[in-house]
Amino acid sequence: MKLISKVFTSLAMTAMAAGAAQASTLDDVRAADELKCVVSTGTIGFSSTDANGRYVGFDVDFCRAVAAAVLGDGEKVKFVPASSAVRFTVLASGEGDILFRNTTETMGRDAGLQMTFLPVTYYDGQGFLAPADLGVSSATELDGASVCIQVGTTTELNLADYFRSNGMSYEPVPVKDFDESLSNYAAGRCDVLTTDASALASTKAALEDPSAHIVFPEIISKEPLGGAVRHGDDQWADIGKWVVNALINAEEMGITSANVADLVASADSNDPGINRLIGAGADTKDFGAQIGLDKAWAVRAIQAVGNYGEIFERNVGVNTPLGLARGTNALWTDGGILYAAPIR
């Protein structure tokens, strides 16, 4: 009887979750006049607080872009910091409306955990950080090394695959969140730290003496990072999807936070593709209505945070402490693979 009771309880909980997912997230966000956005507990360049306590970073800007598109104000965001171990639970429970948190899309997360992923915002890969005085310059030399790792992440699984496929052994130093993993590394409790290369750049920049540490050249995985929402609300997923696409397309079209208002004012002389994106021009179809928003949804997002290139350069680009080149994340027209579906 206990087993049957557990089965029915599980089914009931699943049914309740499915019913909750069918509710309109857009309506909930509008009613609250606030977007609850799940972010990391602190990753410089992606999600952290500045000296005034204001959230800043690459992921943070995508949260603000969605808020601007939906609520008319990119500051109407409640940031919900969550560790990698609980981020999906926080989103699934309704504590967050959307997630932008250095998160890799996988089949297990999309189908198994019932997350709907948005377009990729950062193409990444897993790497290794080590003290320069360790005397090792390649991941292939790490046989027998101790490795700081977060449990319950793709990083943990990739690490096991890499060492097994290369016939090497390692000693894991597992923790639940990245801050603890970083503390262990800084205290010398492990030989190397492994995570996404973008996060390693952030980590290195935050260390007391960045020059005393090196990032190995090997990238051992594919980590397509992007936002996510709960399964079951297609309209809300469409909003997140098309806000991201709009920011990428805006860069390709030369639409910036500085010129978007002028482009709206001069709509009749614009390229038709630009007019479709900014919802201007006499003959432009109202694409905003297709996702439950008005014509100016993309304009507000761009005004709030800029286009994709502006977001990248401001938070993680070559002139920031992270010093990251666009590389793979350059537009497809500039030698990268960043490519957004068109608005038409």
- Centroid of chain to Cα 261: 27
Residue 100 covered by a domain? yes
What whole-number distance in Å separates Cα of residue 14 and Cα of residue 216?
A: 44
Residue 344 covered by a domain? no
Same domain, 150 and 231: no
Radius of gyration for the chain, computed over Cα atoms and rounded to the nearest angstrom: 21
Q: What is the CATH number of the domain that holds 166?
A: 3.40.190.10
- Give the position of tokens 């499915």: 18
Output the pLDDT for position 322.
93
* Interval 298-314: pLDDT, tens: 999 999 999 999 999 99
Contact in structure between 191 and 134 (CB atoms under 8 Å): yes
Output the pLDDT for position 179.
82
Q: What's the Cα-to-Cα distance from 63 to each of 53, 54, 201, rounded to whole Å?
A: 17, 13, 22
Residue 191 covered by a domain? yes
Last residue of a domain, one of 165, 199, 221: 221
Contact in structure between 98 and 63 (CB atoms under 8 Å): yes
* Interval 133-188: pLDDT, tens: 999 999 999 999 999 998 888 899 999 999 999 999 999 999 888 888 889 999 99
Residue 247 covered by a domain? yes
Pick from 129, 158, 165: nearest CA to 145 = 129
Same domain, 43 and 149: no
Residue 75 covered by a domain? yes
* Interval 315-326: pLDDT, tens: 999 999 999 999
User: What mean pLDDT value characterizes the chain?
Assistant: 91
Same domain, 32 and 150: no
Region of 330 on the Ramachandran plot (φ > 0 left; ψ -120 to 50 alpha; else beta): beta
Same domain, 12 and 109: yes
Give the largest CA-CA distance in the chain.
73
Q: What's the Cα-to-Cα distance from 28 to each of 21, 32, 33, 106, rounded to whole Å?
A: 12, 6, 8, 28
Same domain, 7 and 87: yes
The answer, yes or no, to whether residue 5 has pLDDT greater than 70, is: no
What whole-number distance in Å separates Cα of residue 92 and Cα of residue 88?
A: 6
Residue 243 CB partners (closer than 8 Å, separation 6+)? 62, 65, 66, 69, 297, 298, 301
Put simply, whether the predicted model's pTM sits higher than 0.75 gets the answer yes
Q: State which residues form the domain around 134.
A: 126-221
Q: What's the Cα-to-Cα distance from 112 to each of 106, 230, 243, rounded to whole Å?
A: 9, 12, 25
What tokens were used for 149?
């790792």
Pick from 324, 145, 331, 328: nearest CA to 251 = 331
Contact in structure between 166 and 288 (CB atoms under 8 Å): no
Same domain, 135 and 183: yes
Same domain, 11 and 117: yes
What whole-number distance in Å separates Cα of residue 20 and Cα of residue 14?
A: 10
Same domain, 146 and 212: yes
- Give the position of tokens 């306590």: 53
Identify the three-state secondary structure at position 255: coil
Last residue of a domain, one of 221, 241, 274: 221
